[in-house]
């Protein structure tokens, strides 16, 4: 009660402000912010009492624990709650990362960055993620402990994948796999091999090879087979589902007739059973796109709309972008070219603001050749005109337009039973 009374008194004197918006967005607990002038004065008083070091360590340890508590929740049913809590705490986490780099605190810094990378990916902070992770990578002390180095490489590899920078991704994922193999951690090696297999699903240089020529030697498939065996050894059902999804992804991008739909259906069933809502949404996305390529329009629409609602409910900007491209292709199949161009325009604008370069890479290298694409049916003038209309939409407006609902109706219809 003494703490609460003190906060109320400071608020009444306008020395701190109650941040109601962020309280409702995160965990519902009241949050307070200092005025900048008061923050500077309090910092000076803290220095005078020689307590800064103790307070900084407490701050560091609190936020390391928070992000590591949040990380496994970012794929589950409560992921939006945890994503919003991290968003509300982002400035505190940034301050902790800055201090960890400067101190340096390798263990706490890399643990925090590794736990945060999926948040950065989902919420469209990929440019910041690459900068922060790159700063750790450049520090010689980031190579001192193999397990921490492997974590940092995994985070960097993931961010590079989403940015569409596949050569850099391959370098980091290769180093992570080599480290986990040397350490002898078989469950971690399984995940590292799953990650690295994506380097053999799509080419780093989209100009030089056809889909069928990618990984002609079968290196990626051997990695996935080893990963699946290691996941099974560890009784990791979710990991086994990941390898199924990756096998479907490989089939999809090699332009195989089934387009990976068999594996996506199998993976979808497992992800639903284990409660991985993120990979459920990605399975629906890939299944819908595969069905679209095969001409199963109605089933594709159902799967893609379901995927979009999952991504919107989670606040996953990266997922939303790729499904906007899916639904643009669907609109072309239905000969609604204006709609297709608006959806594509919304996707490209969001790609720019979030840094999700993977969407543009995949569209230019592959999707534009194997499924309906609005760039092939409209004049540049019409594509630009209607695309600009889509680009001007907010994220929520773009999602509502994609689902044929009003923005106000999104929240009411966001929850979907698996």
Residue pLDDT, tens place only, 28-81? 566 666 666 666 666 667 677 777 888 899 999 999 999 999 999 999 999 999
Which superfamily does CATH assign the domain made up of 145-275 to?
Answer: Tetratricopeptide repeat domain (1.25.40.10)
Rounded to 10 degrees, what is the CA torsion of 63, 129, 81, 21?
80
Ranking 116-120, 172-176, 354-358 by mean pLDDT, the lowest is 354-358
Backbone angles phi, psi at 18, to 5 degrees: -80, 125
Q: What's the pLDDT score for residue 13?
A: 63
Residue labelled with tokens 């299944």:
287
Q: What's the pLDDT score for residue 25?
A: 47
Q: Does position 329 have pLDDT exceeding 50, yes or no?
A: yes
Q: What's the pLDDT score for residue 416?
A: 44
Q: What's the pLDDT score for residue 417?
A: 41
Domain ranges of the chain: 145-275, 306-418
Q: What's the pLDDT score for residue 2?
A: 61
Q: What is the mean pLDDT of the chain?
A: 90
Task: Assign 368 a pLDDT band (cuts: 50, 70, 90).
Answer: confident
Q: Per the structure block, which two tokens stand in for 284?
A: 């629906």
Q: Does position 10 have pLDDT exceeding 90, yes or no?
A: no
Q: Tell me the per-residue pLDDT of 234-291, one tens digit each, with 9 for 90 and over.
A: 999 999 999 999 999 999 998 888 999 999 999 999 999 999 999 999 999 999 999 9
Q: Does position 4 have pLDDT exceeding 70, yes or no?
A: no
Over residues 354-365, the mean pLDDT reads 90
Q: Does position 321 have pLDDT exceeding 70, yes or no?
A: yes
Over residues 199-227, the mean pLDDT reads 84
In sequence order, what are the residues at sequence separation of 6 or more whose Cβ sits closer than 8 angstroms to the Cβ of residue 402? 308, 323, 324, 327, 343, 346
Q: Does position 155 have pLDDT exceeding 80, yes or no?
A: yes
Q: Does position 372 have pLDDT exceeding 90, yes or no?
A: yes
Q: Tell me the per-residue pLDDT of 162-206, one tens digit each, with 9 for 90 and over.
A: 999 999 999 999 999 999 999 999 999 999 999 999 999 988 766
Q: What's the pLDDT score for residue 33?
A: 67
Q: Per the structure block, which two tokens stand in for 22?
A: 């962020």
Q: Rounded to 5 degrees, what angle do the CA atoms 355, 358, 363 make?
A: 125
- Residues 313 and 350: beta-carbon distance below 8 Å: no
- Residues 275 and 77: beta-carbon distance below 8 Å: yes
């Amino acid at each position: 009660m003494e703490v609460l009374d003190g906060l109320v008194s400071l608020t009444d004197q306008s020395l701190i402000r109650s941040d109601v918006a962020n309280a409702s967005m995160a965990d519902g607990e009241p949050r307070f912010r200092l005025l900048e002038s008061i923050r500077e004065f309090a910092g000076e008083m803290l220095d005078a009492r020689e307590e800064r070091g103790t307070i900084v360590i407490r701050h560091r340890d609190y936020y390391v624990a928070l992000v590591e508590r949040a990380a496994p929740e970012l794929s589950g049913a409560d992921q939006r709650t945890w994503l919003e809590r991290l968003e509300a705490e982002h400035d505190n986490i940034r301050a902790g990362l800055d201090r960890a780099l400067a101190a340096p605190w390798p263990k706490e810094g890399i643990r925090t960055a590794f736990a945060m990378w999926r948040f950065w990916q989902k919420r469209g902070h990929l440019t910041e993620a690459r900068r922060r992770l790159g700063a750790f990578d450049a520090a010689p002390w980031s190579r001192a402990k193999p397990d921490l180095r492997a974590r940092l490489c995994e985070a960097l590899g993931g961010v590079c994948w989403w940015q569409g920078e596949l050569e850099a991704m391959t370098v980091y994922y290769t180093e992570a796999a080599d480290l986990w193999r040397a350490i002898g951690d078989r469950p971690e090696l399984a995940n590292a091999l799953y990650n690295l297999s994506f380097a053999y699903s799509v080419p780093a240089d989209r100009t030089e090879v056809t889909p069928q020529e990618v990984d002609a030697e079968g290196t990626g498939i051997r990695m996935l087979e080893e990963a699946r065996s290691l996941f099974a050894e560890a009784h990791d059902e979710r990991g086994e589902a990941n390898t199924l999804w990756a096998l479907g992804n490989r089939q999809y991008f090699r332009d195989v007739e089934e387009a990976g739909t068999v594996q996506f259906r199998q993976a979808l069933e497992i992800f639903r059973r284990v409660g991985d809502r993120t990979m459920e949404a990605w399975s629906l996305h890939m299944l819908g796109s595969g069905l679209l390529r095969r001409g199963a329009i109605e089933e594709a629409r159902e799967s893609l709309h379901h995927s979009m609602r999952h991504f919107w409910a989670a606040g996953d900007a990266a997922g939303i972008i790729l499904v906007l491209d899916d639904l643009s292709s669907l609109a072309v199949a239905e000969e609604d070219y204006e709609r297709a161009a608006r959806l594509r325009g919304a996707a490209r604008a969001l790609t720019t603001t979030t840094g999700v370069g993977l969407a543009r890479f995949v569209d230019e290298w592959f999707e534009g050749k194997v499924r309906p694409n609005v760039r092939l049916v409209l004049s540049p003038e019409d594509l630009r005109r209607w695309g600009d209309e889509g680009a001007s939409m907010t994220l929520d407006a773009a999602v509502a337009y994609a689902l044929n609902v009003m923005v106000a109706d999104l929240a009411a219809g966001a929850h979907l039973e698996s």
